[in-house]
Structure 1
Amino acid sequence: MKQFNGLGILFILITIVSLSCEPDDICPESTPTTPSLIIRLYDISNQESKKNVSGLRIQGVGNDNVLTNFNVVTTDSIILPLKTDAISTQYKLHKEYTYNDNNTPDDPNDDVIGGNEDIITINYNTQEIFVSRACGYKTIFENVTITLENDGNNWIQFIQPVNDNQSVENETAAHFNLFF
């Protein structure tokens, strides 16, 4: 009887593993995953009319990184990821953001930041939902509320949920309306 060498055994194992894979072992990109919170911005004086905020910069509280796609932009919609391992997430929403380092990039002591920053806190309950063997679980957010920290100079006038007992289960429509 002929003996198998290491390479032959490896080939047989790879073949067995390849043949045992099923189509659901790969998670399709079209599969819905953990959704982000969608906020639409509206004019406070004409509450049916969407309104762009200019110079918007969004950053997580306690995080030095600016949120991707929100580093000084003009938009009427905000998409915010929520923490899946917590029951709240905080963001700084900075309207008309400007930054001047006074020609001393190595000395942050004389930096000047302009604009108006408001801080929001998003509170929620999380629930993990099984998607499939290949995709694993996704998190949905229930009983979502948003509070605005009042600093006496808020550019955000109020934030309203689209539905009572607002949940965030998909990314096909807005979850909250922000008026300014």
Structure 2
Amino acid sequence: MKKTSLLLMLLILTGIGATISCEPDDICPESTPTTPSLIIDAYDVENPENKKAVTSLLVGGVDNDNVLPGYAIVSATQIILPLKTDADTTQYVLMKGAFVNNNGTPDDTSDDYYDGNTDIITINYTREEVYVSRACGYKTIYKNVTLTVEPENNEENWIKSRQPLNDNQSVEDETETHFNIFH
């Protein structure tokens, strides 16, 4: 009986000790800032103080058919773009006035494609890994960010100009605009 009581007491104390020494769950809270996206606001080129929606906007990757979620023919005054964490350049196709071209065969969707006024933007940057926490790991911040429109100085480009909000623009915060485009 003494051995059973002693064993039971030992198990209880061991359990309490383990409970007291436990670490909180290693779950990264949603409120923790992680790798930020690039934020671009769109303005009217003829009245640069006024925001102007890009109508029928489609955003996709270069050299693939993937449309960025949330940007399949929408109207937007703000464009939020994730940047690559494994390269120093990210490119996107931004299509204004986008529509689905049925290629003259409305009953056959296999040959449909997106059409519209296409500009390609190239975003260059240097990456820096920053430790967030044990649960969240690291996040990438982007320094010396530049944005160019290709082809440069083309009259057919719908993006007429672009402007960083700061010299030596960085992308560290996902709550502030980083570039303005004028169209």
TM range (shorter): 0.7 to 0.9
Which residue is 1:71 aligned to?
A: 72
Sequence identity, in percent? 57
Unaligned runs of 5+ in 2: 5-13
Aligned residue runs from structure 1 range 126-165, under 5 A: 126-150=127-151, 151-165=154-168
Are residues 139 and 74 of structure 1, via their aligned partners in 2, closer, same or farther at CA, if it must alter by over 3 Å?
same
Determine the C-alpha separation between the residues in 1 that align with 2:130 and 2:113: 45
User: Could you list the per-position Cα deviations for residues 48-78 of structure 1 after superposition, in whole angstroms to 9, with x for gaps in the alignment?
Assistant: 1100011000001123211011110001000
Determine the C-alpha separation between the residues in 2 that align with 1:166 and 1:21: 43
Determine the C-alpha separation between the residues in 2 that align with 1:20 and 1:55: 56
Aligned residue runs from structure 1 range 35-46, under 5 A: 35-46=36-47
1:82 aligns with 2:83: yes
Q: Are 1:87 and 1:124, in contact at CA under 8 Å, matched by a contact in 2?
A: yes
Which residue is 1:178 aligned to?
A: 181
> How far does residue 153 in structure 1 lie from its aligned partner after superposition?
1.1
Unaligned runs of 5+ in 1: 3-11
> How far does residue 25 in structure 1 lie from its aligned partner after superposition?
2.3
Q: In terms of Rg, which structure is larger?
A: 2
Aligned residue identity for 1:174:
T
Which residue is 1:116 aligned to?
A: 117
Aligned length: 166
> How far does residue 99 in structure 1 lie from its aligned partner after superposition?
1.0
Aligned residue runs from structure 1 range 4-23, under 5 A: 20-23=21-24
Off by >6 Å, runs of 4+ in structure 1: none
Are residues 24 and 160 of structure 1, via their aligned partners in 2, closer, same or farther at CA, if it must alter by over 3 Å?
farther
| TM-score normalised according to structure 2 size | 0.83
Q: What's the Cα RMSD here?
A: 2.1
> How far does residue 105 in structure 1 lie from its aligned partner after superposition?
2.0
| TM-score normalised according to structure 1 size | 0.85
1:105 aligned to which of 109, 123, 132? 109
